[in-house]
C-alpha cells in the first residue's frame, strides 16, 4: 500500500468525520435553540403544507434571491444546480452496480461541470468588481470560491484532458466505504481534485457553507403564520408565567 | 422648507444604487440614556467596567435563547442580495447601512468568540475583538436600523437584520449603553400606561373634548368611553391618537365606526398605549411587561373582543406576539392563557386590527358611507413596514395589503398605488420606525425617507395625489417631520380612518 493511498484514505475518513460530525452538531444546536417569537416574514403561509412549499421554492428556485437580484440569482442558481448534477453523476463511483437513474444523469452531469465553473466565475467577478459586494467580502469568501473553482477545473481536466484510471479510482472509493483499502492511482490532477474535495468537506460545518442547513432553520421562512389561533410558547418564556 | 444642517438627498432621476461613501453616517448617534432611565428598566446605569466580558456573555445567552440569532449568525454567505435594499443605505450611501454590513458588525464579533475559524484564523474570516471602536460602531449603526425587515424579504435565507439589531441593542442595554429616547418612553409606559405619560384624568378630558368636537361637526352624540366595564370591545390604540395631528382624526374615525355599528367599546386608562418599545430594544421581558397591561385591562373590564388602532409596530406585537407574551389571543391550552381566553369571543379574531373590524362592517353593509365626501382627495396608501412584513389582516396571506386598500376604495373615489416595487411586501419604511423617531436622529430620518418620498413624488406627479394615507402612528409623526424637507405639504399626511371619518354618514343608520 503506497503512502499516497494511505494518506488519501486517512484524509477522507477525517474529512467525512468532520463533515458529518460537524453538521450533526450544528443541526443539533439549531434544533435545540428555541424560537421564542413568531417571526415569519409575511405574507407567510398559514399552514404547515404551505411552509413546506415555501421552503421548497427557496431550495429549488431560490425564490427570494430571484426577487432580489437577477445576476446573483443566475450565477448562484447555475452553480448550485450544476453542482447537484455533478454530485449525482459522481454517485456512479460509490455504487456497484450503478443505479439506473445515475446512468441517465451521466451525460448531463458530465457537461454540468462547465456550467458550474461558469456560475462560480460569475459570482467571483461580482465579488471583485461590484463595489458593494467587494466591500462585504472577506478573504475566506474569495478562498471558498477559489476552492470550488479548483475542484471544478481539476475535475473537468480529469474528464476531458488528462484521464485517470477511473476503474481504479472507483475501486479505491468502494474500498474506503467497505474498509477494504485499494490502491489509488497517483495522477497529480486526480490528487489535487480529491484533496480539494476533502478540504471542502472539512470546512463545511465551520464556514458559511452552513447556509445549507441554516435555511431550513430560519424562523422567518419556516414558521406558520398562525399566532392568533395557536399559542406559541418557548420553554424559557413559559418560565416567566410561573 | 425646513432648515437643515445637513444635505437633504436629491430625488434620483433613475433609481441608481449610490456609490459607497464610507463613514458618511458614523457620527449619527442618539443621546445615551442617563442612569435613572436605564435603572428603571433594570439595566445598569452606565457602561459597566467589564463591559466587554459582560457583552460577550450576554451574546452567548442570546445565541442560546433565540434560534433566529444563532442561525442568522452562521447562514450569511455575503452574496450581496440585500446590499441595495435598505432605505438608510439608499439615502446615505454609507456602506455600514447595507444590511449585510450592519449584521457584520455583530457577526465579526460572534465569529471571534464563538466559532472555530474566528478563534484561530480571525483575519481569514473577518473576525475582530469587541473593542471600544466596535462598540461605538454598534451604537451608531444599530440605531440607524428601523427593524423594518425589508432586507429579510430579499435574503435567500430570510436573514432578518431586525433580529440582529434587537440582539445588539439588548447586549448594549445589558452593559449599560442604552438610548435615551426609547428608554424614557418605556419608563413612562411602565409607570403611567402610555408613551406620552398622559394620566387617566387628562385622558378623560381629552375624550370629552373630542366628543364635543364631533357633536359640533355632525350634530350627533358619539361617545369615546374610558374604563367602561362590560363594553364588548376594548380598543388599544397608540397614545399619539389622543392628541397628535393627524392621528386624532383617525381616532374620531374609529369612534364613528363603533357608533354607527352600535357596538359598545371602551378605552382603558391602565392600558392606554398600543405601542410597545420593548420590541425596538429587543428585550423579551420588557416587551412582555408592557403587553401585560393589556391583559390586565381586558380582564378588569371584562372585554370580549380586543381591537387595535392604527399603529405598525404595535400591530406586529399585538398580532404576532400578544398570544405568546400574555395569552391575548386564542387557542391557548395552559391555565395562564385560559384565564383570559375563556372570556374572549372566539367568533372574532383576537386581537383584531381596526381595519379588519371596519372592513367586516363594510362587507356586511353595516356602515353608511358617502364616497363623494372624499372627492377632494386623491389618495395613495403607504404600507407600514411592520404591518406589511411582520403581521397579517384577515384570513388570507397578504390580507394586510388588501384590506386597507379595500376600505379606502369603499370610502373614496380616487385611489392610486405607488410603484409596485415600493409597496406591499417591498414597501419602504417611513424612515422613523424602530425607535428612531427622535429629533437627535433627524438627519438619518430625513435621508432614510428618500425612497419613500421618491415613490410618493411619482404618484403626485402622475396622478395629482394629495392625500398620503397610512395606518401607523410612527409613520404619521415621521411624515409630519420629513415631508417638508422633500417639498411636500404636511396636510397630505393622514390615516385610513380619517378617510372613513369623512365618508361615514352619522345619523342615517342607527
With contacts defined as CB-CB under 8 Å, which chain A residues touch B306? none
Q: Does A106 score more than 90 pLDDT?
A: yes
Interchain CB distance below 8 Å, A58 and B70: no
How many domains are there within chain B? 2
Q: Are both B403 and B495 inside the same structural domain?
A: yes
Q: Is residue B5 part of a domain?
A: no
Interchain CB distance below 8 Å, A41 and B160: yes
Q: Does B147 score more than 80 pLDDT?
A: yes
Residue B118 touches partner A, C-beta closer than 8 Å: no
Measured distance CA(B404)–CA(B354) in Å, rounded: 10
Interchain CB distance below 8 Å, A229 and B331: yes
Q: Is residue B449 part of a domain?
A: no
Interchain CB distance below 8 Å, B152 and A220: yes
Residue B295 touches partner A, C-beta closer than 8 Å: no
With contacts defined as CB-CB under 8 Å, which chain B residues touch A137? 78
pLDDT digits (tens, 9 = 90+) for A66-84: 999 999 999 999 999 999 9
Q: Are both B482 and B358 inside the same structural domain?
A: yes
Residue B126 touches partner A, C-beta closer than 8 Å: yes
Q: List, as one string, the DSSP characters of A113-181.
A: HHHHHHHHHHHHHHHHH-HHHHHH--HHHHHHHHHHHHHHHHHHHHHHTS---HHHHHHHHHHHHTT--
* Amino acid B264: pLDDT: 98
Number of A:B CB contacts under 8 A?
230
The answer for A217, left when phi > 0, alpha when psi is -120 to 50, beta otherwise, is: alpha
With contacts defined as CB-CB under 8 Å, which chain A residues touch B67? 30, 33-35, 217, 219
Q: List, as one string, the DSSP characters of B239-284.
A: GGGGTSTTHHHHHHHHHHHHHHHT--EEB-STT-----TTTTTT-H
B65, B82, B159: residue with CB nearest A236: B65
| SS3 category, B470 | strand
Q: Does B501 score more than 50 pLDDT?
A: yes
Read off the pLDDT band of B5 (50, 70, 90). confident
Q: Which of B178, B195, B220 is the last residue of a domain?
A: B178
The cell for B192 is: 403611567
* Amino acid B510: pLDDT: 58
* Amino acid A199: pLDDT: 98
Report the DSSP beta bridge partners of residue B265.
B233
Omega within 30 of 0 (cis) for the link into B351: yes
Q: Which of B151, B178, B205 is the last residue of a domain?
A: B178
Q: Is residue B118 part of a domain?
A: yes
Q: Is residue B277 part of a domain?
A: yes
Measured distance CA(A115)–CA(B282) in Å, rounded: 44
Q: Are both B491 and B474 inside the same structural domain?
A: yes
pLDDT digits (tens, 9 = 90+) for A132-178: 999 999 999 999 999 999 999 999 999 999 999 999 999 999 999 99
With contacts defined as CB-CB under 8 Å, which chain A residues touch B333? 231
Interchain CB distance below 8 Å, A37 and B98: no
Read off the pLDDT band of A41 (50, 70, 90). very high
Q: Are both B149 and B67 inside the same structural domain?
A: yes
Contact A210, A25 (CB under 8 A): no
Read off the pLDDT band of A63 (50, 70, 90). very high
Cα A121-A126-A130 angle, rounded to 5 deg: 160
Q: Does B1 score more than 50 pLDDT?
A: no
| Domain region containing B298 | 187-416+465-503
* Three-class HEC string of B113-129: HHCHHHHHCHHHHCCCC
Domain over A3-239 is classified CATH 3.30.1490.20 = no
With contacts defined as CB-CB under 8 Å, which chain B residues touch A29? 70
Interchain CB distance below 8 Å, B124 and A218: no
Residue B292 touches partner A, C-beta closer than 8 Å: no
At a CB cut-off of 8 Å and minimum separation 6, what does B359 contact? Answer: B393, B394, B403, B406, B407
Closest-CA residue of B relative to A55 is B157
Q: Is residue B17 part of a domain?
A: no
What is the arithmetic mean of pLDDT over B17-30? 96
Q: Does A216 score more than 60 pLDDT?
A: yes
B158, B327, B350: residue with CB nearest A41: B158
Q: For residue A47, how many other CB atoms are within 10 A of its CB?
A: 11
Q: Which of B178, B209, B232 is the last residue of a domain?
A: B178
Q: Are both B243 and B278 inside the same structural domain?
A: yes
Omega within 30 of 0 (cis) for the link into A97: yes
B76, B321, B389: residue with CB nearest A208: B76
What is the arithmetic mean of pLDDT over A112-126? 98
Read off the pLDDT band of A192 (50, 70, 90). very high
Interchain CB distance below 8 Å, B74 and A219: no
Contact B183, B38 (CB under 8 A): yes
The cell for B21 is: 461613501
CA distances from A97 to A100, A102, A108, A175, B128 (A): 9, 11, 20, 15, 51
What is the arithmetic mean of pLDDT over A106-113? 96
* Amino acid B509: pLDDT: 66
A135, A229, A237: residue with CB nearest B324: A237
Residue B339 touches partner A, C-beta closer than 8 Å: no
| SS3 category, B392 | coil
The CATH number assigned to the domain holding B166 equals 1.10.1060
Q: Does B125 score more than 70 pLDDT?
A: yes
Q: Are both B162 and B205 inside the same structural domain?
A: no
Measured distance CA(A136)–CA(B44) in Å, rounded: 34
Residue B464 touches partner A, C-beta closer than 8 Å: no
Residue for cell digits 441554516? A214
Q: Are both B326 and B351 inside the same structural domain?
A: yes
Read off the pLDDT band of B508 (50, 70, 90). confident
Q: Are both B157 and B202 inside the same structural domain?
A: no
DSSP B439: G
Interchain CB distance below 8 Å, B80 and A62: no
What is the arithmetic mean of pLDDT over B52-80? 98
With contacts defined as CB-CB under 8 Å, which chain A residues touch B285? 240
Read off the pLDDT band of B318 (50, 70, 90). very high
Q: Are both B237 and B95 inside the same structural domain?
A: no
Measured distance CA(B81)–CA(B243) in Å, rounded: 42
Contact B167, B106 (CB under 8 A): yes
Phi, psi (degrees; rounded to nearest 5) at B186? -65, -40
Measured distance CA(B340)–CA(B304) in Å, rounded: 10
Q: Are both B145 and B253 inside the same structural domain?
A: no
Structural domain spans, chain A:
3-239
* Amino acid B130: pLDDT: 98
Interchain CB distance below 8 Å, B154 and A67: yes
Q: Are both B384 and B478 inside the same structural domain?
A: yes
Measured distance CA(B315)–CA(B312) in Å, rounded: 5
Amino acid at each position: 500500500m503506497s503512502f499516497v493511498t494511505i494518506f488519501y484514505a486517512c484524509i477522507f475518513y477525517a474529512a467525512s468525520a468532520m463533515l458529518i460530525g460537524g453538521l450533526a452538531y450544528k443541526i443539533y444546536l439549531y434544533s435545540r435553540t428555541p424560537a421564542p417569537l413568531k417571526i415569519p416574514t409575511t405574507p407567510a403561509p398559514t399552514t404547515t403544507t404551505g411552509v413546506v412549499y415555501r421552503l421548497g421554492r427557496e431550495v429549488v428556485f431560490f425564490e427570494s434571491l430571484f426577487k432580489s437580484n437577477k445576476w446573483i440569482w443566475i450565477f448562484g442558481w447555475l452553480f448550485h444546480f450544476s453542482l447537484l448534477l455533478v454530485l449525482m453523476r459522481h454517485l456512479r463511483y460509490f455504487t456497484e452496480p450503478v443505479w439506473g437513474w445515475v446512468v441517465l444523469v451521466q451525460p448531463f452531469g458530465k457537461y454540468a461541470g462547465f456550467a458550474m465553473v461558469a456560475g462560480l466565475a460569475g459570482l467571483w467577478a461580482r465579488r471583485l468588481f461590484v463595489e458593494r459586494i467587494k466591500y462585504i467580502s472577506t478573504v475566506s469568501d474569495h478562498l471558498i470560491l477559489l476552492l470550488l473553482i479548483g475542484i471544478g477545473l481539476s475535475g473537468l481536466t480529469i474528464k476531458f484532458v488528462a484521464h485517470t484510471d477511473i476503474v481504479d479510482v472507483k475501486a479505491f472509493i468502494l474500498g474506503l466505504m467497505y474498509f477494504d483499502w485499494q490502491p489509488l492511482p497517483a495522477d497529480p490532477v486526480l490528487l489535487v481534485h480529491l484533496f480539494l474535495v476533502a478540504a471542502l468537506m472539512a470546512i463545511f460545518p465551520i464556514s458559511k457553507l452552513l447556509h445549507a442547513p441554516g435555511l431550513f432553520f430560519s424562523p422567518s421562512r419556516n414558521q406558520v403564520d398562525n399566532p392568533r389561533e395557536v399559542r406559541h410558547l418557548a420553554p424559557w418564556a413559559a418560565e416567566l408565567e410561573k | 422648507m425646513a432648515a437643515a444642517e445637513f444635505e437633504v438627498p436629491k430625488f434620483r432621476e433613475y433609481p441608481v444604487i449610490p456609490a459607497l461613501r464610507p463613514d458618511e453616517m458614523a457620527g449619527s448617534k442618539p443621546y445615551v440614556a442617563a442612569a435613572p432611565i436605564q435603572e428603571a428598566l433594570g439595566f445598569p446605569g452606565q457602561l459597566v467596567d467589564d463591559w466587554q466580558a459582560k457583552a460577550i456573555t450576554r451574546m452567548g445567552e442570546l445565541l442560546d435563547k433565540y434560534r433566529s440569532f444563532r442561525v442568522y449568525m452562521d447562514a450569511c454567505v455575503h452574496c450581496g442580495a440585500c446590499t441595495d435594499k435598505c432605505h438608510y443605505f439608499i439615502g446615505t450611501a454609507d456602506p455600514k447601512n447595507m444590511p449585510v454590513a450592519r449584521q457584520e458588525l455583530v457577526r465579526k464579533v460572534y465569529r471571534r468568540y464563538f466559532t472555530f475559524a474566528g478563534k484561530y484564523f480571525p483575519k481569514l474570516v473577518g473576525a475582530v475583538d469587541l473593542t471600544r471602536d466596535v462598540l461605538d460602531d454598534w451604537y451608531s449603526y444599530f440605531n440607524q436600523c428601523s427593524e423594518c425587515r425589508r432586507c429579510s424579504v430579499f435574503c435567500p435565507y430570510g436573514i432578518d437584520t431586525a433580529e440582529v439589531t434587537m440582539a445588539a441593542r439588548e447586549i448594549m442595554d445589558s452593559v449599560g449603553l442604552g438610548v435615551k429616547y426609547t428608554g424614557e418612553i418605556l419608563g413612562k409606559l411602565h409607570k403611567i400606561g402610555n408613551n406620552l405619560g398622559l394620566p387617566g384624568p387628562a385622558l378623560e378630558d381629552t375624550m370629552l373634548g373630542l366628543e364635543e368636537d364631533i357633536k359640533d361637526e355632525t350634530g350627533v352624540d358619539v361617545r369615546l368611553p374610558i374604563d367602561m366595564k362590560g363594553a364588548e370591545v376594548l380598543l388599544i390604540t397608540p397614545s399619539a391618537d389622543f392628541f397628535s395631528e393627524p392621528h386624532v382624526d383617525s381616532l374620531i374615525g374609529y369612534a364613528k365606526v363603533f357608533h354607527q355599528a352600535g357596538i359598545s367599546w371602551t378605552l382603558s386608562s391602565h392600558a392606554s398605549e398600543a405601542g410597545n418599545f420593548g420590541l425596538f430594544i429587543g428585550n423579551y421581558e420588557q416587551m412582555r411587561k408592557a403587553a401585560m397591561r393589556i391583559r390586565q385591562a381586558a380582564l378588569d373590564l371584562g372585554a370580549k373582543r380586543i381591537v387595535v388602532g392604527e399603529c405598525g409596530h404595535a400591530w406586529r406585537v399585538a398580532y404576532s406576539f400578544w398570544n405568546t407574551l400574555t395569552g391575548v389571543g386564542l387557542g391557548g391550552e395552559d391555565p395562564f392563557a385560559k384565564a383570559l381566553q375563556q372570556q374572549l369571543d372566539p367568533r372574532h379574531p383576537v386581537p383584531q386590527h381596526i381595519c379588519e373590524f371596519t372592513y367586516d362592517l363594510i362587507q356586511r353593509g353595516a356602515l353608511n358611507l358617502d364616497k363623494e365626501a372624499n372627492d377632494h382627495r386623491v389618495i395613495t396608501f403607504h404600507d407600514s413596514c411592520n404591518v406589511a412584513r411582520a403581521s397579517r389582516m384577515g384570513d388570507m396571506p397578504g390580507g394586510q395589503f388588501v384590506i386597507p386598500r379595500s376600505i379606502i376604495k369603499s370610502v373614496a373615489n380616487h385611489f392610486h398605488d405607488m410603484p409596485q416595487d415600493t409597496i406591499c411586501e417591498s414597501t419602504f419604511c417611513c424612515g422613523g420606525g424602530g425607535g428612531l423617531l427622535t429629533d437627535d436622529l433627524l438627519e438619518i430620518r430625513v435621508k432614510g425617507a428618500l425612497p419613500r418620498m421618491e415613490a410618493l413624488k411619482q404618484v403626485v406627479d402622475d396622478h395629482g395625489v394629495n392625500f398620503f394615507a397610512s395606518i401607523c402612528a410612527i409613520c404619521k409623526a415621521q411624515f409630519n417631520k420629513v415631508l417638508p424637507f422633500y417639498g411636500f405639504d404636511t396636510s397630505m399626511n393622514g390615516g385610513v380612518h380619517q378617510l372613513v371619518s369623512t365618508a361615514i354618514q352619522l345619523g342615517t343608520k342607527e
